[in-house]
Structure 1
Amino acid sequence: MHVTSEQRHDDGVVERELILGDIPGTLWTPASAEPVPLILMAHNNALPKCEPRLVARARHTAAAGYAVASIDAFGCGDRSRTEAQQLARAEFRRGMQAGPTDDVLESYTGPLVAGAVPDWRTTLDALLTLPEIGGPVGYSGWLALGIGLAAVEPRIAAAGFFAGGYVPRTQREAARQVTIPLLVLLQWDDAGNPRQRALDLFDAFGSTEKTLHANLGGHVGTPWFELEDGERFFDRHLRGSGPSLH
């Protein structure tokens, strides 16, 4: 793992650009002398790690006392793609514009998730060697990737998902294997993600502790207060703080 740049922000958060083999990543860490829990943060639909909404979430979460990491995994962001991947991406975009279907999703998103999961696990291996990161580990972001990662990665203790109805078949089947605490955010009027399919997927998760927050609005309309609620969720499960109501 090589650090290519480092910047300290006014709120004390340190932002470092990293290279792990051929995986570009960013790590945000708080101004803390003690090792802190780690949250892996992935943007929906393979957008880059530098996407402004993800960066804003990451910096806010780091300022709250977490190490936060994001990468451009296999086929994601600015990562170089093969000609076949470029063609598949173009077909996916055309298919989504015409109306998303399972066939469109399986042909592009399924292989994308399958390739990204090993990259995230490699990143996790490297980050957990850093003295400023003490675990445990959480995940926040893209639902399809989060299911694939949580189903095979025992080091992830809790996850926050942005719900989407169109999830590849393999991940829908794997949802029953996900048993960690979950906080799922659903945009009630998301035209690109059928609401009932998202609700059915929530029901399928094997977790005995899972919470669904539904808000009015379209795909990018998730209220900012959900970020603060998400941090309280991670405080409970990564720090063990906060009593339960009976």
Structure 2
Amino acid sequence: MDFTSEHRHDDGVLERDFALGDIPGTLWTTGSAPAPLVLMAHNNGLPRRDARLVARARFHAATYGYAVASIDAAGCGDRPRTAAADQLRVDLRRAMQAGEPVDEIFEAMVGPMVDDAAPEWRTTLDALLDLPDVAGPVGYSGWMALGIRLAVTEPRIAAAGFFAGGFVPRAVRAEAPRVTIPVLVLLQWDDEGNPRQRALNLFDAFGSVEKTLHANPGGHLGTPRFELEDGARFFDRHLR
């Protein structure tokens, strides 16, 4: 892991970009003592520099003292995109504008994205836990499809907070009963692009003894700010 830049913010958070082979990422920390790690991923592979993800990361680091890390999935953010992936995005926009079914396009786009991203996140986790200011146990926050895959394949992840606003491929939905770690799911009740019943079915399928669902009225981008604090307290219960 090579750190390529760093910036100390006014809130005391040290933001460092890194490269791990072809994988670009960012690590947010405060202080030099080892801190529990939270991995953060945006729904359906949105870039790690997205303002909403950065705000969540800095909040967890500055207010609760976590080390927080995110990487760009293949074809997203700072990574080169393929012609095939760009075509799928064009097909998706066209289908949505025409009011046509989009599940099969999402399957073709998101399924391979999860398959490619999960091993890269595990490789990144190996490197992060070798750093002197990062420690386990590890939490996960964000993209539900990726989080389910990591929860069933990565034993170092002790708790997961899922945003129920992204498409979850069929193969990943089938893995939901194998999720046994504590789970917190955030659901926007009126999310225009994600049927709530599908999210409720997934929540019901999780095999976790401790699982909590927070449902709030509003559309996809309407998650209340207080959920940031509730999410951090959820991690405090399981990572400290």
Determine if the TM-score, normalized by the shorter chain, exceeds 0.5.
yes
CA distance in 1, matches of 2:114, 2:207: 20
Report how far residue 89 of structure 1 moved. Answer: 2.8
- Counterpart of 1:147 in 2: which secondary structure? helix
CA distance in 2, matches of 1:139, 1:95: 32
The reply to whether residue 82 of structure 1 matches residue 82 of structure 2 is yes
Relative to structure 1, the CA distance from residue 87 to residue 206 in structure 2 (aligned partners, 3 Å threshold; closer, same or farther) is same
Mapped contact 1:166–1:193 kept (Cα < 8 A): yes
The amino acid of 1:193's aligned partner reads N
CA distance in 1, matches of 2:95, 2:88: 10
Report how far residue 54 of structure 1 moved. Answer: 0.4
The sequence identity of aligned pairs, in percent, is 71
CA distance in 2, matches of 1:165, 1:37: 26
Mapped contact 1:188–1:216 kept (Cα < 8 A): yes
RMSD (CA atoms): 1.3
Aligned to 2:52: 53
Aligned to 2:11: 11
- Counterpart of 2:15 in 1: which secondary structure? strand
Moved more, 164-173 or 142-151: 164-173
Mapped contact 1:92–1:108 kept (Cα < 8 A): no
Aligned to 1:26: 26
Give the alignment of 1:139-150 within 5 angstroms.
139-150=140-151
CA distance in 2, matches of 1:78, 1:92: 22
Alpha-carbon displacement from aligned partner over 1:13-54 (angstroms, at most 9, x marks no partner): 1000101101110000012x4211000000112211000000
Mapped contact 1:166–1:197 kept (Cα < 8 A): no
CA distance in 2, matches of 1:165, 1:123: 23
Moved more, 73-82 or 215-224: 73-82
What are the ranges of 5 or more consecutive residues in structure 1 without an aligned counterpart?
240-246
Relative to structure 1, the CA distance from residue 16 to residue 100 in structure 2 (aligned partners, 3 Å threshold; closer, same or farther) is farther
Mapped contact 2:95–2:101 kept (Cα < 8 A): yes
Mapped contact 1:36–1:132 kept (Cα < 8 A): yes
Give the alignment of 1:167-206 within 5 angstroms.
167-206=168-207
Deviation above 6 Å: which 4+ runs of structure 1?
Answer: none
The amino acid of 2:12's aligned partner reads G
The amino acid of 1:18's aligned partner reads F
Size of the alignment, in residue pairs? 238
Aligned to 1:108: 109
The reply to whether residue 118 of structure 1 matches residue 119 of structure 2 is yes
CA distance in 1, matches of 2:221, 2:158: 26
CA distance in 2, matches of 1:181, 1:94: 38
Aligned to 1:244: none
Report how far residue 119 of structure 1 moved. Answer: 1.1
Aligned to 1:159: 160
Relative to structure 1, the CA distance from residue 165 to residue 74 in structure 2 (aligned partners, 3 Å threshold; closer, same or farther) is closer
- Counterpart of 1:108 in 2: which secondary structure? helix
Report how far residue 81 of structure 1 moved. Answer: 1.9
Q: What TM-score does the superposition give when structure 1 sets the normalisation length?
A: 0.93
Mapped contact 2:75–2:81 kept (Cα < 8 A): yes
Aligned to 1:43: 42
The amino acid of 2:124's aligned partner reads T
